Structure 1
Amino acid sequence: MNRKLYYNGQILTMDDRYHSPEAVLTENGRIMALGRTEELKTIGRDAEQVDLEGAAMLPGFIDGHSHLTAAAYQLLMVNVNPSPTGRCNSVEELVEEGIRALAQTHLEDGQWFMGMGYDNSVYPDGKHPTREDLDKISRDIPVSMMHVSGHLCVVNTKAMELLGYGGSGYEVPEGGVVQPDGLLKEQAFLAPHKQKLMQGPGPDQVLKAVGRASRLYASYGITTAQDGRTTRSDYELLKAAGAAGLLKNDVISYMAVDCAKEFLPRQYPALNGYMNHYRPAGCKIYLDGSPQGKTAWLSQPYLVPPDGQNEEYRGFPVMESEDVFQVMETCIRNHWQINVHANGDEAIEQMIRCYTKALKAVEHPEKLRPVVIHCQTVREDQLDRLKGIGMLPSFFLDHVYYWGDYHFESVLGPERAERISPAASAVKRSMSFTLHQDSPVVPPNILFSIHNAVNRKTKNGMVLGEEQRVPVIEALKAATVYAAYQIFEEENKGSITPGKLADFVILDQNPLKADKETLKDIKVLRTIKEGEDIL
């Protein structure tokens, strides 16, 4: 019997039935009791005593949406992010970093040299790199540099040829765009048959990187991570990582449609159990791109259209509505939860319309908690309809900090930019919602997302949408109790409640007592998964 008694801390249970207990007693990875320290010492006489030394204990953080396998791959790529997460603040610095990194990298025969994280929105002229720029890194080795959003990619001339985009008259996958200067959008490089051509690191390297990614997530207090849009190869990778003991936190995956049809059990989501800390959770599709990449599908034009587009440009859809409806109907009939990437309000409209149609097509449909991932420009009338059909928004609040100024000045303009990720509007409607970082787009720092939900300050210090700020307690719920509900795990996770898993994060400050402006500075001291330290 493995018992532990945690005491002398500030315990935030996130369960209204248990206010500020003095201590928590766990047994065999589950919470046994809450209460006064002396009483629990009597109950758990043989328990290992853990002095929290005044630190704050919360339920372990639950990832609202990210891509753990992609985060693993990113660890094997050159970092071309701008500051503060990288040092490439211009095209010239990206090229210099690429040349430096390539000289230090051993590539196998046929392997591509890959980078991730470039962000043209911070460059002096706002221009994307071109294939001619990447040719300066190498003309003989295929080179690709992925945009920070993950929805755009620039490749060199060699890579263009290998992808079948050399010369003229080539065929571009539906939902993709190829520009002659080497900029590829959406399915032009994300389509499975194109991804297979972009040969990355070997399987042994990738498997070890999954373990590193798991530890990275744990360093931010995350006890349940997510892999959003798991392919067949990702599925096999996560299973292998679990079997090898590399997954320190739980990992759930929302599968690409083809993968779901092959591997996702046709049963109510809550019945999908874990094996070696991994479980398939549902299905994932994309309906548009990203606002910072100006590929999100909007109902109104972009403030400043991208190069080559007219003033009426509103982005574009990735899927036809009939195809979206068919996927959603399949999900409902198979008892699958669906997560849908939808940034623009027109993409969100497509999701609402198609899911509503699918609900009507199925007799006695279950409440499967479909999730709108990102939900950046959702309108007030759309939130009303989301609530009406049981859809849950997951907000990417870090956009306010990283791209808020760009949204205000170039992407959306002041009125729409001030409403991106309108979490307060969800609170007013008593809607369950979550926060996410879309890692590897930005680091999986949930405390920073909580900070951004509460403060909504841009990188340049502008408050963007003051009326959309939320109280600290609501932001904490979005990373714990609401997040557990989103993934059908509210019976086991999300709060410090007797009977639930002993998943905790220990912080050096109590977020409810800390200065709101310094929430981002709170440190994770320990991350505990089922009673065992994983950080």
Structure 2
Amino acid sequence: MTHKCNQIFNCACGSKLWQSLLPKDFNPSCELNDQTEDNATESFIMHAINGGTILTMREGMNENVEAIGIKDGKICAAGSFEDVKKEFSDSVPKVEEIEGAATLIPAFIEPHVHIIPSAVINAGLDLSPFYGQQLRENVFPKDKYNFDWVKKVLTEKADNMTAGEGWILGHNMDPSLFSSGNKVINADKLDGISNSVPIYITNTSGHLAYINNAAIKVIDEHNISVEAENGSKKQKKVSTGKNGVLEELSEMVPVLKVLIETYDYENGKIKLQAKERIKQEFDKLFESAVSHGSTYMLDAALDEKQIEILKAYAKSSKSKVRIGGAYLIDSLDQLNTSIGSLGLPNSGDEDFNLSFLKLIADGSSQGLTGYQYTPYDCNENYEVFAHAEQSDFNEENEDKIKKLAEQNITGLFNYGYPIEFNGLMRIANNYGWPTMTHANGDHAIDRTLSAFKQAGITKNTIDQRRDRIEHCSLLSPSTMAEMEHLGISPSFTIGHVGYWGWNFKNTIIGQQRADQLDLCASAINNHGMRITLHSDYSVTPMGPLRYMEQAITRLMESAPNQSLEVLNPNERLTPFQALKAMTYDAAWQCHADKWVGSLEVGKCADFTILAESPLRYQNRKNMAYPAQGMRDIPVLKTFKGGKQVFVQPQESYLSNISWDNQNKALTFKYTGPKVSPPKGVEAKIWYQLQDENGDALTDKYTEPMNNVYFNRKVEICTESLSKFDSATKFYLVAGVFLQSKKADVIAASALIDKCCGTSEVNDKTSINKLQLMPSSGSISFEVPSDIQKPKNGTCWLFITDVNTNYGWDNGQVAPNLEGDGSTQGTSTDTGIYYCKNLTDELIESPIDLDSLDLELGKTYKVGICLGSNYRIAAYAVTQCVDKPQRINPIGTL
């Protein structure tokens, strides 16, 4: 396996592939399509009552307060509710209550992401091993992540296209995580998908791409055309690699440019679709960040174009996040040319701040380009090298001996060493710029520490500079001691442990080196370092609660049969250490602690509200690893500068379901919309076990809800019920129960198999793909086709003001609206604009709203109500728009 660097980085986070895909006329001032309402900042108080928690993280401590006050987008007070109220003596502020298990914490910080490259590449077809926050194979056990799955996804796309219509871009395919089958990919293998539609797939490591013979044909025709145009004048041909395998950007980018020129830019419509898709991906990326509770993102590899785009976004009144950045340096010449024009580091503001220079020392360990002292244990197709014993060396084992001799892949170093690399670090220090240096392999980390030392960087400047090593995968006690001595802090891609740990241990680097991965606890406990955890998005999915879970459990999620194997348990963090790494210490490491990271007076009012505290979270399904499942704690709301930038669509659903057949015990969680019952009415949930015909197997149980967003763990112990004992499968059903109203409509259900002890089906009541369009007088949305309507009741669709609470004007009675039995009129005095009986049909097509007086740009609540007592099972919040939001086919540019 031969790599050619040529000053082009050998890892996904340094790849400049996105530059070829970004339309040349992409306008940073107007292309970002954010629909957040531009409301003026409000003054209000967040008040913890009835067991609710407000955790400030003040000075990095586990400090709870009763209330915080917000004025002009900043924290103006924190402490007791009475003391906070005194800060509002000139007005009566709005008060929002945090109740029950709900927990308010400082907003999370994403300390290492790649915003624009991810948005651009994500416009293609997702071939990654991830489904949300999980490994795809763990969500769909019968659908193995291997080439057969990749082929199925690509074939479905190709079957809907014809030759000449376009080409398919696939991204983030990761053969290192293929669980079965051959991991060799080339043009001949891709021809089993299509021999007419060109296909281009990038490997998640960023150093390989694959094209089929249809793409090779396009390239060959391009080369012939160029040769004909230039006559005898020689032109360098665009290489199609070795049987369609493209190595490094020097081969990948020219092929990509030909495909773009051939299909995208000769057809205005296709070009427009590409721009629209990229705009959508920008929106999705920022929405994903705030939906996971993050309001600060540090982009770890910026150039001038990206700085222009992101600064324009961050300064926009519609920005959902704050952005920090690191300027990418790819050579000594570039640094000498650009350093004078960059200005001073950390001279930005709370919206946008350029904090670091970024160096990329090596590649990725899962891509076999991280720079190691000892060769990898496998070849480029992830075939493990033979580990022959002395007795094996005989003529019969000639192939084994040959393989052992080929064990020489140690990865790559991206800069000339030591002159160029040490020179980069020295110039950065001379100009006062902190550096964040990508280094995965143990050899790359040692060279990085040597460069820091040669540049004169010491612990004396740690708080001023805050130099970092990114990913910092393979550590040892000696390298950590040197980092402590020099004042260098690590930022760990914790997914290396969670997602790739088993493969590192058993295929890529072996047990001994795998135990050196992401030594989080040692860095904190033994060397006093302030660490962070990151996604390196889009290398792994964004999700701070997931990073915390993987750092706390260190479970290897790609282990066969989801066996609960822990990688080096001594390196597990405590929940508080993990939370601090994602908030207080992340703000410090990103030079953003003057603005975010804790809820202290004078800092930005950036916070998120979780359904339960990650510090108290305990998953009953696997008591040995109580933090397992922490990634699924619902993020209810996120605020940036006192403005709400995300609210969780309120759904009813069951999760974390586990059946103990021996003890006849069931554990589960039920999450539903916030309940605000009328005075004197007690809110509870009810749940029951039923057979497949809907007949009761147990009595109905009720549990207090505490009037909060609800995430509940309960146990059902069944007695000697012969009907239940004879059933092999049963349904768990749950919903809202209001004591005086006798309401027991179904809000969610799940089918449980006694044999395997877990939920086979997990239904939820939800509103999907919601669009409210007053100009066309219609609303369109989707609801699950198998939603269970009440046997003796009705099912309603409703539209209300966004602030109308649970139930009809909190009265919990039928709305007094005019109209016939199927479609009701409006009653704006109660905040209800529309109500339709869905007893006989479920709406999946636009509904006529000509009679409604809805305002363009205003936000409304649209939901489903189950039962004659009008209990809301799910709702979503949407903004009126003047035209449908375009959804282009994924994967086609």
Tell me the TM-score range normalised by the shorter chain: 0.7 to 0.9
Moved more, 449-458 or 31-40: 31-40
Partner residue, 2:109? 62
Counterpart-to-counterpart distance in 2, 1:162 and 1:340: 39
Partner residue, 1:273? 349
CA contact (8 A) 1:506 1:524 kept: yes
Q: Does 1:51 align with 2:97?
A: yes
How far is the alpha carbon of 1:486 from its aligned partner?
1.0
Partner residue, 1:524? 635
Q: Does 1:499 align with 2:602?
A: yes
Partner residue, 1:116? 171
Q: Does 1:318 align with 2:414?
A: yes
Partner of residue 381 from structure 1, selected from 478, 488, 498? 478
Counterpart-to-counterpart distance in 2, 1:302 and 1:149: 15
Counterpart-to-counterpart distance in 2, 1:52 and 1:234: 39
Deviation digits for residues 269-323 of structure 1 (CA, Å, limit 9, x no counterpart): 332235xx44333222222111112221111121223359921322222222222
How far is the alpha carbon of 1:399 from its aligned partner?
1.7
CA contact (8 A) 1:214 1:246 kept: no
Q: Does 1:180 align with 2:242?
A: yes
CA contact (8 A) 1:375 1:394 kept: yes
- What amino acid sits opposite 2:171 in the alignment? M
The number of residue pairs the alignment matches comes to: 524
How far is the alpha carbon of 1:379 from its aligned partner?
2.0
- What amino acid sits opposite 1:375 in the alignment? C
Counterpart-to-counterpart distance in 2, 1:454 and 1:447: 10
CA contact (8 A) 1:139 1:156 kept: yes
CA contact (8 A) 1:76 1:209 kept: yes
Alignment partner of 2:68: what SS? strand
Any residues of structure 2 matched to 1:362-373 within 5 Å, and which?
Answer: 367-373=464-470
Q: Does 1:213 align with 2:262?
A: no
Counterpart-to-counterpart distance in 1, 2:163 and 2:439: 36
CA contact (8 A) 1:265 1:272 kept: no
Q: Does 1:430 align with 2:528?
A: yes
Q: Does 1:300 align with 2:344?
A: no
Counterpart-to-counterpart distance in 2, 1:88 and 1:231: 38
Deviation digits for residues 344-389 of structure 1 (CA, Å, limit 9, x no counterpart): 111111211222223379xx99942222111111222111111222
Cα gap change, 1:498/1:107 in structure 2, threshold over 3 Å: closer, same or farther? farther
How far is the alpha carbon of 1:332 from its aligned partner?
2.0
How far is the alpha carbon of 1:522 from its aligned partner?
1.4
Deviation digits for residues 41-82 of structure 1 (CA, Å, limit 9, x no counterpart): 243252221112231111111112111113312431101123
Cα gap change, 1:18/1:513 in structure 2, threshold over 3 Å: closer, same or farther? closer
Counterpart-to-counterpart distance in 2, 1:172 and 1:340: 35
Q: Does 1:79 align with 2:119?
A: no
Any residues of structure 2 matched to 1:299-448 within 5 Å, and which?
Answer: 299-307=373-381, 310-321=406-417, 322-359=419-456, 367-428=464-525, 429-448=527-546
How far is the alpha carbon of 1:13 from its aligned partner?
1.4
Moved more, 22-31 or 286-295: 286-295
CA contact (8 A) 2:303 2:328 kept: yes
Alignment partner of 1:313: what SS? coil
Cα gap change, 1:18/1:421 in structure 2, threshold over 3 Å: closer, same or farther? closer
Alignment partner of 1:489: what SS? coil
Query: Which protein has the bigger helix share?
Result: 1
Cα gap change, 1:342/1:238 in structure 2, threshold over 3 Å: closer, same or farther? same
Counterpart-to-counterpart distance in 1, 2:170 and 2:302: 21
CA contact (8 A) 2:240 2:255 kept: no
Query: Which protein has the bigger strand share?
Result: 2
Q: Which has the larger radius of gyration?
A: 2
Partner of residue 327 from structure 2, selected from 255, 270, 273? 255
Counterpart-to-counterpart distance in 2, 1:456 and 1:262: 41
Cα gap change, 1:248/1:449 in structure 2, threshold over 3 Å: closer, same or farther? same
Q: Does 1:228 align with 2:300?
A: yes
Cα gap change, 1:142/1:251 in structure 2, threshold over 3 Å: closer, same or farther? farther
Counterpart-to-counterpart distance in 1, 2:553 and 2:616: 15
Counterpart-to-counterpart distance in 2, 1:235 and 1:107: 38
Cα gap change, 1:264/1:283 in structure 2, threshold over 3 Å: closer, same or farther? farther
How far is the alpha carbon of 1:477 from its aligned partner?
0.9
Q: Runs of 5+ in structure 1 lacking a partner? A: none
Moved more, 368-377 or 82-91: 82-91
How far is the alpha carbon of 1:34 from its aligned partner?
0.6
CA contact (8 A) 1:121 1:406 kept: yes
Moved more, 341-350 or 282-291: 282-291
CA contact (8 A) 1:81 1:88 kept: no
- What amino acid sits opposite 2:109 in the alignment? I
Cα gap change, 1:494/1:360 in structure 2, threshold over 3 Å: closer, same or farther? closer
How far is the alpha carbon of 1:247 from its aligned partner?
3.4
Partner residue, 2:645? 534
Counterpart-to-counterpart distance in 2, 1:318 and 1:171: 25
Partner residue, 2:43? 3
RMSD: 3.4
Partner residue, 1:286? 360
CA contact (8 A) 1:155 1:183 kept: yes
How far is the alpha carbon of 1:88 from its aligned partner?
7.0
- What amino acid sits opposite 2:108 in the alignment? F
Partner residue, 1:96? 152
CA contact (8 A) 2:54 2:103 kept: yes
Moved more, 253-262 or 12-21: 253-262
Counterpart-to-counterpart distance in 1, 2:217 and 2:601: 59
Cα gap change, 1:377/1:6 in structure 2, threshold over 3 Å: closer, same or farther? same
- What amino acid sits opposite 2:591 in the alignment? F
Aligned-pair identity in percent equals 25
How far is the alpha carbon of 1:32 from its aligned partner?
0.6
CA contact (8 A) 2:462 2:488 kept: no
Partner of residue 23 from structure 1, selected from 67, 71, 79? 67
Counterpart-to-counterpart distance in 1, 2:252 and 2:435: 20
Larger RCO of the pair (alpha carbons < 8 Å, separation 6+): 1
Counterpart-to-counterpart distance in 2, 1:431 and 1:161: 54
How far is the alpha carbon of 1:104 from its aligned partner?
5.1
Counterpart-to-counterpart distance in 2, 1:371 and 1:195: 34
Moved more, 468-477 or 226-235: 226-235
How far is the alpha carbon of 1:35 from its aligned partner?
0.8
Q: Does 1:127 align with 2:238?
A: no
Counterpart-to-counterpart distance in 2, 1:451 and 1:408: 20
CA contact (8 A) 2:73 2:641 kept: yes
How far is the alpha carbon of 1:433 from its aligned partner?
0.9
Partner residue, 1:40? 84
Deviation digits for residues 129-159 of structure 1 (CA, Å, limit 9, x no counterpart): 2222334445565532122333433233465
Counterpart-to-counterpart distance in 1, 2:341 and 2:349: 10
CA contact (8 A) 2:110 2:298 kept: yes
Partner of residue 567 from structure 2, selected from 464, 486, 504? 464
- What amino acid sits opposite 2:442 in the alignment? D
Counterpart-to-counterpart distance in 2, 1:417 and 1:289: 17
CA contact (8 A) 1:229 1:253 kept: yes
Counterpart-to-counterpart distance in 2, 1:142 and 1:338: 41
